[in-house]
Structures are given as structure tokens and as C-alpha cells.
């Protein structure tokens, strides 16, 4: 089963930390949507697996679109692929787009999951990040979706923001729990060079939080959410039972996906491609940067995505797919991590205990083939 991703690269306001592919000039919105319909047609042969199980509208800000435009993409996809077994269609939404009217229209579509870019339930922190909504607007958005019968809601939260410590993180978690959302994605802030935060950092006006503070906030997230019954199933993701993100999980399990839109990535098991074009170039003609994956790429990808998930690496799969010598090399390197308690070895699997996910990058890099 494959996935479809639609990238809507428009935002009314640029957040201070954001280095995603997005533009603040909305004039091309209509032309981009039509170009995306053309691209869906042009790329119809890219996926080997014709059965689509998940669709994801990401951005940018897909909630800038009227929900009937989202449904138009779903309808077109259903003409091209077998979409009879779809079980998750997600749209990312900015809380201040989630009006009564938008929600009523959304309820009439096949979208059954909403990912709200909340980031924080603290007004000062929201202003600091240049978000365009307030904490109370985020609360209202969740309640409005719930009243309309959307029963699969995820919120994004950001932690590790200098100047906003554990108290702010704690109150954001408490508010999310109080709202009873089914899923929470929690990302540590990274200050990227081409962002407002990056420029502030360069001028000495802002810094990354230190390692000790990062660890404290990460543990706070992990402890509070797991105590409340959420499974910490991926480095940045927590879900109530049966509410893991199906679309995103498929990225971590090597499932094929087709990304449509300027800046979207695609993968079909053999090749990855991405249209790294400006919006204007994308409207005129779709062009891709293509990458054929080597055996080392496949191995590194498997190690990285598996160890970021609670299930970890299957040693049987490693032997079968990459050979016994590769499995033996992994086990040899893993030994010291196991002794330190940073890797767990149970049955056929090597995994990072979720409370140690913070150090996953170091474990993963040590296992990479170069
Ligand atoms: S809404 Fe999302 S994509 Fe747009 S600027 Fe903010 S973080 Fe970036």
C-alpha cells in the first residue's frame, strides 16, 4: 500500500523558526493548485504499488484551501489509483483557519484526521515564534473540530526554546491533555541559518538551549505523555492506542509515496525525486532532482528510520536483506550501546528505549555504512 502527499507551499505569515519550502506571496495559489492536478496526472506511473492507503495534505498551510479543494485532489487520485482501502486522510491546519465554516465544509469531505500547528499554548511563546494564532484560538480550534465529529486530532508542539523553560512546556502539555487530542508531535527547536531565529542567533541575540535543558524538557514530555497513556512510538511522536500516524509511519517503514507540489519528495523503492523549484517554475514545468539509491543508502535509511521508532531494527530482516556480515557488524557496534543501556536487545530486535530517544542520532550514526 502506498501514500500520497500534497504540498501546499503557501503561508500568510512566516514563522521565526521555519525553513520549510514555503512562500508568503499567495498570488499563485490558484495556478499552483491546477499545476498540482497536472503533476498528479504526469506522475501517475511513478508508484509501483497502485493501492493508496493514506493521503496527507502538508505545507505550508493547506488549511488556506477551502476543504472542497482537498476533496477535489482525493477525487482525482481515486480516478488514477485504487483508493478503495484508504484509511487515513490528514490535513495540516493553522488554528486560526479553523473557523465554523471551514470545519463544516471539512466534515463533508473524506478527510478524517487534522494536524493542528499549535506549537505552544503560551501566548508569549507564540508571539516569540511569530505564529499567527493565540493559545485560546488553538483551544477553540480543537473544540470546534471535536464538535464537528473529527475524532482523530494531532497537535504539534515545540520545546527547547531558549527563555521558555520547563514550566511553559509543562503547561502546554497539560492543555493538550486536557483537550483529549489523540496524538501529539513534539519537536525540539532547531535554529536554522535562513530563518529569523537564525539571524538573531548570528547577531548574538538568541542561542540554542544547552544539552541539560534539552534533556530535561524531553524527559518532561516523555514522562507526562506516557503517564497519560500515550505511546512514545517515534522520536517525536506520541499516540493514544490505535492512533499512530499511519501516513508518517509509512515513511519510517519504507513504504512507497508520491509527493505532489513544489518542494515535495517522492520515493518508489528504487528512486527518490524532489521538485526543488520556485513556485513560478513549478507552474510552468515540473522538473526533478533524481537520486537512485545504492545498497548503502538503503541500509542507512533502514537503520535510521527503524531506530527512530520504538520497534527498532529486525536482525532477521538485516540478514535477509543485506547479508549476515552486515548483521554481524551491526551487532558488534551495538554491544557497547547495549551495555550503556542506550540500546535494548530483545528477541530479534535492537531498539532504543523511548526514554533515551534523545541520543538516537549518535546511536544511528555509529551504525551507518559510509
Ligand atoms: S505555518 Fe508552517 S510552513 Fe508556514 S511558516 Fe509557519 S512553520 Fe513554516
Nearest atom in ligand 1 to the alpha carbon of residue 119 is 7
For residue 151, what is its C-alpha cell?
475524532
Give the list of residues 6+ apart from residue 108 with CB closer than 8 angstroms, or none: 67, 71
Task: With a cut of 90, say whether residue 112 has pLDDT above it.
Answer: yes
**Neighbour count for residue 244 (Cβ, 10 Å):** 19
20 falls in which pLDDT band (50, 70, 90)?
very high
Fold of 2-251: TIM Barrel (3.20.20)
The model carries a pTM of 0.96
So what's the pLDDT on residue 93? 98
Distance CA 253, CA 29 (A): 33
CATH of domain 295-370: 1.10.10.920
Residue 196 has pLDDT above 90, yes or no: yes
Give the residue-averaged pLDDT of 27-36.
Answer: 97
61 close to ligand 1 (CB < 6 Angstrom): yes
Predicted confidence band at 208 (pLDDT cuts at 50, 70, 90)?
Answer: very high
Looking at residue 370, its pLDDT comes to: 74
- From the CB of 11, is ligand 1 less than 6 Å away? yes
The position carrying cell 488549511 is 63
Give yes or no for residue 172 CB within 6 A of ligand 1.
Answer: no
Place of cell 555504512: 369
159 beta partners? 188
Please identify which residue in the block is written with the cell numbers 493565540: 134
Interval between CA 60 and ligand 1 midpoint (Å):
5
Q: Does residue 95's CB lie within 6 angstroms of at least one atom of ligand 1?
A: no
The x, y and z cell numbers of residue 352, run together, are 532504543
> Do 146 and 205 touch, CB atoms closer than 8 A?
no
**Residue 126 host element (H or E):** helix 123-128
Residue pLDDT, tens place only, 140-162: 999 999 999 999 999 999 999 99
Domain coordinates in residue numbering, the chain: 2-251, 295-370
CA of 65 to the centre of ligand 1 (A): 15
Residue 11 Cα: closest atom of ligand 1: 4
Alpha-carbon distance of 360 to 308, in angstroms, equals 7
Which residue CA neighbors atom 2 of ligand 1 most closely?
Answer: 60
For residue 152, the tally of other CB atoms under 10 A from its CB is 20
CB 251 less than 6 A from any atom of ligand 1: no
**Is the pLDDT score of 276 beyond 90?**
no
For ligand 1, the distance from its centroid to the CA atom of residue 22, given in whole angstroms, is: 7
Residue 307 CA to ligand 1 center (angstroms) comes to 28
Tell which atom from ligand 1 comes closest to the C-alpha of 17: 7
CA distances (Å), origin 185, targets 27, 48, 191, 239, 262:
31, 30, 18, 9, 24
pLDDT value of position 369: 87
The answer to whether residue 263 scores a pLDDT higher than 90 is yes
What is the overall mean pLDDT for the chain? 96
Residues 299-355: tens digit of each pLDDT: 999 999 999 999 999 999 999 999 999 999 999 999 999 999 999 999 999 999 999
Amino acid at each position: 500500500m502506498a501514500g500520497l502527499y500534497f504540498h501546499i507551499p503557501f503561508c500568510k505569515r512566516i514563522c521565526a523558526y521555519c525553513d520549510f519550502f514555503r512562500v508568503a506571496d499567495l498570488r499563485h495559489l490558484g495556478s499552483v493548485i491546477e499545476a498540482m492536478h497536472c503533476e498528479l496526472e504526469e506522475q501517475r506511473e511513478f508508484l509501483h504499488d497502485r493501492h493508496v492507503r493514506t493521503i496527507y495534505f502538508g505545507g505550508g498551510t493547506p488549511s488556506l484551501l477551502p476543504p472542497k479543494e482537498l476533496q477535489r485532489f482525493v477525487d482525482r487520485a481515486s480516478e488514477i489509483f485504487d483508493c478503495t482501502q484508504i484509511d487515513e486522510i490528514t490535513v495540516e491546519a493553522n488554528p486560526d483557519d479553523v473557523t465554523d465554516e471551514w470545519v463544516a465544509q471539512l466534515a463533508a469531505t473524506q478527510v478524517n484526521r487534522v494536524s493542528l500547528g499549535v506549537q505552544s499554548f503560551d501566548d508569549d511563546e507564540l508571539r516569540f515564534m511569530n505564529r499567527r494564532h493565540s493559545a485560546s484560538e488553538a483551544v477553540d480550534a480543537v473544540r470546534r473540530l471535536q464538535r464537528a465529529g473529527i475524532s482523530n486530532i494531532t497537535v504539534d508542539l515545540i520545546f527547547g526554546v531558549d527563555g521558555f523553560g520547563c514550566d511553559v512546556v509543562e503547561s502546554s502539555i497539560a492543555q493538550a491533555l486536557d483537550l483529549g487530542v489523540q496524538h501529539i508531535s513534539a519537536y525540539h527547536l532547531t535554529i536554522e541559518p535562513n530563518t529569523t531565529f537564525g539571524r538573531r542567533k548570528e547577531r548574538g541575540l538568541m542561542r540554542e538551549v544547552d544539552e541539560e535543558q534539552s534533556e530535561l524538557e524531553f524527559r518532561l514530555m516523555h514522562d507526562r505523555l506516557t503517564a497519560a497513556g500515550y505511546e512514545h512510538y517515534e522520536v517525536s511522536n506520541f499516540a493514544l492506542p490505535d492512533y499512530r500516524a499511519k501516513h508518517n509511519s509509512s515513511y519510517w517503514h519504507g513504504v512507497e509515496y508520491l509527493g505532489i507540489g513544489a518542494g515535495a519528495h517522492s520515493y518508489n523503492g528504487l528512486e527518490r525525486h524532489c521538485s526543488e523549484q520556485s513556485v513560478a517554475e513549478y507552474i510552468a514545468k515540473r522538473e526533478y532532482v533524481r537520486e537512485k539509491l545504492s545498497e548503502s543508502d538503503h541500509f542507512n535509511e533502514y537503520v535510521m528510520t527503524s531506530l527512530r521508532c520504538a520497534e527498532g531494527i529486525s536482525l532477521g530482516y538485516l540478514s535477509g536483506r543485506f547479508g549476515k556480515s552486515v548483521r554481524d557488524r551491526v551487532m558488534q557496534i551495538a554491544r557497547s550501546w547495549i551495555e550503556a543501556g542506550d540500546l535494548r536487545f530483545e528477541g530479534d530486535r535492537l531498539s532504543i528505549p523511548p526514554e533515551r530517544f534523545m541520543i538516537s542520532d549518535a546511536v544511528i550514526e555509529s551504525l551507518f555504512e559510509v
